Amino acid sequence: EDKVVQSPLSLVVHEGDTVTLNCSYEVTNFRSLLWYKQEKKAPTFLFMLTSSGIEKKSGRLSSILDKKELSSILNITATQTGDSAIYLCAPFGNEKLTFGTGTRLTIIP
């Protein structure tokens, strides 16, 4: 059975801090790994990672995949209150995404 584990489950930091969110996975026929941000509605796409060791960046967010370790990290630097959300990791395998439980990030002003 496909499995995705995210850590920590919850994280509370002050505005301006840097955070690292972790994702480990066991997925059959792995093709890629996606990160999503979810506030009160549906998840919104952040990154897709297909190759190990190549960092993807978007503003203050960056992510990298380690296919050998079956893991990925999402970094957010200089956090802002608007970064408060649930961050979901989802490997793509067997023609579908399998989601982790997510990391709930809370940024204190």
Partner 1 sequence: DTGVSQDPRHKITKRGQNVTFRCDPISEHNRLYWYRQTLGQGPEFLTYFQNEAQLEKSRLLSDRFSAERPKGSFSTLEIQRTEQGDSAMYLCASSGAGTVYFGYTFGSGTRLTVV
- Residue 108 Cβ, how far from partner 1 at the closest point, in Å? 21
Choice between 2 and 17, CB closer to partner 1? 2
Choice between 76 and 86, CB closer to partner 1? 86
Neighbouring residues of 2: CB distance < 8 A, sequence distance ≥ 6: 25, 26, 27, 28, 91, 93, 94, 98
Long-range contacts of 64-68 (CB under 8 A, 24+ apart): 65/33, 67/30
- Residue 2 Cβ, how far from partner 1 at the closest point, in Å? 9
Choice between 8 and 16, CB closer to partner 1? 8
Neighbouring residues of 40: CB distance < 8 A, sequence distance ≥ 6: none
- Residue 109 Cβ, how far from partner 1 at the closest point, in Å? 25
| List of residues contacting partner 1 (CB under 8 A) | 4, 31-32, 34, 41-45, 48, 50, 88, 90, 92, 94-102
Q: Rounded to 5 degrees, what are φ and ψ at 83?
A: -80, -10
